[in-house]
Copies of this chain bind each other. A is one copy, B any other.
Protein backbone atom coordinates (compact mmCIF):
# COMPACT_ATOMS: atom_id res chain seq x y z
CA UNK A 1 0.00 0.00 0.00
CA UNK A 2 1.58 3.34 -1.00
CA UNK A 3 1.92 5.52 2.06
CA UNK A 4 3.97 8.25 3.71
CA UNK A 5 6.33 7.26 6.53
CA UNK A 6 7.29 9.64 9.31
CA UNK A 7 10.33 8.90 11.39
CA UNK A 8 11.72 11.05 14.17
CA UNK A 9 15.28 9.95 14.82
CA UNK A 10 18.65 11.03 16.09
CA UNK A 11 20.84 10.66 13.03
CA UNK A 12 23.76 11.92 11.01
CA UNK A 13 23.69 12.20 7.23
CA UNK A 14 26.20 12.12 4.40
CA UNK A 15 25.41 13.04 0.82
CA UNK A 16 27.81 12.43 -2.03
CA UNK A 17 26.59 13.41 -5.47
CA UNK A 18 26.47 16.74 -7.21
CA UNK A 19 28.31 18.02 -4.15
CA UNK A 20 29.48 16.59 -0.87
CA UNK A 21 27.55 17.44 2.27
CA UNK A 22 27.51 16.28 5.87
CA UNK A 23 24.98 16.67 8.68
CA UNK A 24 26.28 16.10 12.21
CA UNK A 25 24.19 14.04 14.60
CA UNK A 26 20.91 15.60 15.75
CA UNK A 27 17.24 14.76 16.10
CA UNK A 28 15.40 15.24 12.81
CA UNK A 29 12.30 14.29 10.85
CA UNK A 30 12.78 11.72 8.10
CA UNK A 31 10.00 11.81 5.52
CA UNK A 32 9.68 8.82 3.19
CA UNK A 33 7.08 9.11 0.48
CA UNK A 34 5.27 6.54 -1.62
CA UNK A 35 7.53 7.23 -4.60
CA UNK A 36 10.56 6.19 -2.51
CA UNK A 37 11.87 9.71 -2.04
CA UNK A 38 13.47 10.61 1.26
CA UNK A 39 13.84 14.04 2.83
CA UNK A 40 15.43 15.10 6.10
CA UNK A 41 13.89 18.06 7.90
CA UNK A 42 14.97 20.16 10.85
CA UNK A 43 12.22 22.10 12.59
CA UNK A 44 12.76 25.31 10.67
CA UNK A 45 12.02 26.32 7.07
CA UNK A 46 8.74 25.16 5.58
CA UNK A 47 9.97 24.44 2.13
CA UNK A 48 13.40 22.97 1.94
CA UNK A 49 14.70 19.89 3.69
CA UNK A 50 18.27 19.89 5.02
CA UNK A 51 19.01 17.02 2.69
CA UNK A 52 17.03 14.74 0.40
CA UNK A 53 16.95 12.27 -2.45
CA UNK A 54 14.48 12.82 -5.25
CA UNK A 55 12.66 9.97 -6.96
CA UNK A 56 13.31 7.65 -8.63
CA UNK A 57 15.59 6.19 -5.97
CA UNK A 58 15.86 3.12 -3.80
CA UNK A 59 16.59 2.70 -0.10
CA UNK A 60 18.41 -0.14 1.58
CA UNK A 61 17.82 -0.31 5.34
CA UNK A 62 20.43 -2.02 7.50
CA UNK A 63 18.96 -1.63 10.96
CA UNK A 64 18.60 -3.55 14.19
CA UNK A 65 15.36 -4.31 16.06
CA UNK A 66 15.29 -0.83 17.58
CA UNK A 67 15.65 0.80 14.14
CA UNK A 68 19.27 1.90 14.67
CA UNK A 69 21.67 1.40 11.76
CA UNK A 70 22.00 2.95 8.31
CA UNK A 71 19.71 3.80 5.42
CA UNK A 72 21.46 3.98 2.09
CA UNK A 73 19.49 5.84 -0.57
CA UNK A 74 20.81 5.80 -4.14
CA UNK A 75 19.50 7.04 -7.47
CA UNK A 76 20.28 6.15 -11.04
CA UNK A 77 23.07 8.76 -11.30
CA UNK A 78 24.81 7.01 -8.36
CA UNK A 79 24.19 9.92 -6.04
CA UNK A 80 24.17 8.58 -2.52
CA UNK A 81 22.51 9.61 0.71
CA UNK A 82 23.61 7.70 3.79
CA UNK A 83 21.58 8.18 6.95
CA UNK A 84 23.15 6.82 10.11
CA UNK A 85 20.38 6.34 12.66
CA UNK A 86 21.38 6.23 16.31
CA UNK A 87 17.95 6.23 17.91
CA UNK A 88 14.38 6.12 16.64
CA UNK A 89 11.91 8.22 18.64
CA UNK A 90 8.87 7.82 16.43
CA UNK A 91 7.97 5.75 13.37
CA UNK A 92 4.56 5.78 11.76
CA UNK A 93 3.09 5.19 8.30
CA UNK A 94 -0.05 6.70 6.88
CA UNK A 95 -1.97 6.02 3.72
CA UNK A 96 -2.80 9.22 1.85
CA UNK A 97 -4.10 8.10 -1.54
CA UNK A 98 -3.67 9.96 -4.80
CA UNK A 99 -3.76 13.74 -4.57
CA UNK A 100 -6.13 15.60 -6.91
CA UNK A 101 -3.44 18.26 -7.35
CA UNK A 102 -3.10 22.01 -7.23
CA UNK A 103 -5.10 24.53 -9.23
CA UNK A 104 -3.23 27.79 -9.85
CA UNK A 105 -4.09 31.25 -11.10
CA UNK A 106 -1.84 34.24 -11.60
CA UNK A 107 1.22 32.76 -13.28
CA UNK A 108 3.02 34.13 -16.32
CA UNK A 109 0.87 32.19 -18.80
CA UNK A 110 -2.25 33.98 -17.52
CA UNK A 111 -0.59 37.37 -17.71
CA UNK A 112 0.51 36.67 -21.27
CA UNK A 113 -2.98 35.52 -22.21
CA UNK A 114 -4.57 38.61 -20.65
CA UNK A 115 -2.18 40.94 -22.47
CA UNK A 116 -2.79 39.10 -25.74
CA UNK A 117 -6.51 39.80 -25.45
CA UNK A 118 -5.90 43.38 -24.29
CA UNK A 119 -3.10 44.67 -26.53
CA UNK A 120 -4.58 48.16 -26.10
CA UNK A 121 -2.75 48.04 -22.76
CA UNK A 122 0.41 48.88 -24.73
CA UNK A 123 -1.20 51.78 -26.59
CA UNK A 124 -4.17 52.80 -28.71
CA UNK A 125 -4.31 51.21 -32.13
CA UNK A 126 -2.01 48.29 -31.31
CA UNK A 127 -2.86 44.90 -32.73
CA UNK A 128 -1.57 41.42 -32.04
CA UNK A 129 0.29 39.69 -34.86
CA UNK A 130 0.78 36.47 -32.95
CA UNK A 131 1.25 34.95 -29.49
CA UNK A 132 4.35 32.71 -29.07
CA UNK A 133 5.77 33.91 -32.40
CA UNK A 134 8.30 31.24 -33.33
CA UNK A 135 11.98 32.04 -33.95
CA UNK A 136 15.07 29.87 -34.27
CA UNK A 137 15.99 30.54 -30.64
CA UNK A 138 12.53 30.14 -29.16
CA UNK A 139 9.12 31.79 -29.21
CA UNK A 140 8.59 35.53 -28.72
CA UNK A 141 5.80 35.98 -26.15
CA UNK A 142 3.83 38.55 -28.17
CA UNK A 143 4.56 39.99 -31.61
CA UNK A 144 2.53 43.16 -32.21
CA UNK A 145 2.20 46.14 -34.52
CA UNK A 146 1.73 49.55 -33.02
CA UNK A 147 -0.64 52.24 -34.33
CA UNK A 148 1.98 53.31 -36.91
CA UNK A 149 2.35 49.72 -38.14
CA UNK A 150 5.82 49.22 -36.67
CA UNK A 151 6.69 45.75 -35.39
CA UNK A 152 7.11 45.31 -31.64
CA UNK A 153 8.31 42.23 -29.76
CA UNK A 154 6.90 41.97 -26.25
CA UNK A 155 8.49 39.87 -23.51
CA UNK A 156 6.08 39.09 -20.67
CA UNK A 157 7.27 38.25 -17.17
CA UNK A 158 5.58 38.09 -13.83
CA UNK A 159 8.66 39.68 -12.28
CA UNK A 160 10.97 41.51 -14.64
CA UNK A 161 14.64 40.81 -13.99
CA UNK A 162 17.84 41.14 -15.96
CA UNK A 163 17.55 37.70 -17.57
CA UNK A 164 14.29 38.70 -19.20
CA UNK A 165 15.93 41.73 -20.80
CA UNK A 166 18.74 39.54 -22.12
CA UNK A 167 16.16 37.14 -23.53
CA UNK A 168 14.28 39.94 -25.30
CA UNK A 169 17.57 41.37 -26.59
CA UNK A 170 18.40 38.04 -28.25
CA UNK A 171 14.97 37.92 -29.89
CA UNK A 172 15.27 41.50 -31.13
CA UNK A 173 18.72 40.85 -32.59
CA UNK A 174 17.30 37.91 -34.52
CA UNK A 175 14.01 39.53 -35.58
CA UNK A 176 15.84 42.58 -36.88
CA UNK A 177 17.69 40.37 -39.37
CA UNK A 178 14.33 39.66 -41.05
CA UNK A 179 13.77 42.44 -43.63
CA UNK A 180 10.01 41.77 -43.59
CA UNK A 181 9.84 42.66 -39.91
CA UNK A 182 12.72 45.08 -39.31
CA UNK A 183 12.92 47.49 -37.65
CA UNK A 184 11.57 45.69 -34.57
CA UNK A 185 11.55 47.39 -31.20
CA UNK A 186 11.04 45.77 -27.81
CA UNK A 187 8.68 46.13 -24.88
CA UNK A 188 9.38 44.46 -21.54
CA UNK A 189 6.09 43.93 -19.66
CA UNK A 190 5.84 42.66 -16.10
CA UNK A 191 3.87 43.10 -12.91
CA UNK A 192 7.03 44.36 -11.29
CA UNK A 193 10.33 45.40 -12.91
CA UNK A 194 13.60 45.44 -10.96
CA UNK A 195 15.70 48.60 -11.11
CA UNK A 196 18.67 46.77 -12.64
CA UNK A 197 16.50 45.30 -15.38
CA UNK A 198 15.06 48.75 -16.06
CA UNK A 199 18.54 50.23 -16.47
CA UNK A 200 19.67 47.50 -18.86
CA UNK A 201 16.45 47.75 -20.88
CA UNK A 202 16.75 51.50 -21.20
CA UNK A 203 20.41 51.14 -22.23
CA UNK A 204 19.25 48.88 -25.06
CA UNK A 205 16.33 51.01 -26.14
CA UNK A 206 13.76 48.61 -24.73
CA UNK A 207 10.61 50.12 -23.26
CA UNK A 208 9.40 48.90 -19.86
CA UNK A 209 5.75 48.54 -18.92
CA UNK A 210 4.48 47.52 -15.50
CA UNK A 211 1.14 45.73 -15.73
CA UNK A 212 -1.65 45.63 -13.14
CA UNK A 213 -2.71 41.98 -13.29
CA UNK A 214 -5.81 42.37 -11.13
CA UNK A 215 -7.07 45.36 -13.10
CA UNK A 216 -6.48 43.52 -16.38
CA UNK A 217 -8.28 40.46 -15.08
CA UNK A 218 -11.10 42.64 -13.86
CA UNK A 219 -11.75 43.79 -17.43
CA UNK A 220 -11.96 40.20 -18.54
CA UNK A 221 -15.12 38.17 -18.89
CA UNK A 222 -15.63 36.80 -15.37
CA UNK A 223 -16.74 33.52 -16.92
CA UNK A 224 -13.21 32.93 -18.22
CA UNK A 225 -11.63 33.19 -14.79
CA UNK A 226 -10.50 30.12 -12.97
CA UNK A 227 -12.12 31.21 -9.71
Contacts and interface: CB of A to CB of B under 8 A. Distances in A.
Interface of A: 2-4, 6, 8, 18-29, 31, 33-35, 37-39, 41-55, 89-90, 92, 94-107, 137, 163, 166, 196, 226-227
A203 to B, nearest CB: 10
A163 to B, nearest CB: 7
Nearest to A14: B227
Closest 6 CB pairs of A and B: A37-B46, A19-B106, A42-B99, A34-B43, A4-B43, A39-B46
A163 B105 CA distance: 28
Q: How many copies of this chain sit in the oligomeric assembly? A: 2
B41 A31 contact: yes
A41 to B, nearest CB: 7
A22 B227 CA distance: 9
Contacts of A41: 4, 31, 33
Given A54-B46, A92-B90, A94-B29, A19 B99 contact: no
A45 B28 contact: no
Contacts of A4: 8, 29, 41, 43
Contacts of A101: 23, 50
B33 A44 contact: yes
Nearest to A28: B96
A18 B89 contact: no
A175 B99 CA distance: 53
A50 B98 CA distance: 13
A18 B227 contact: no
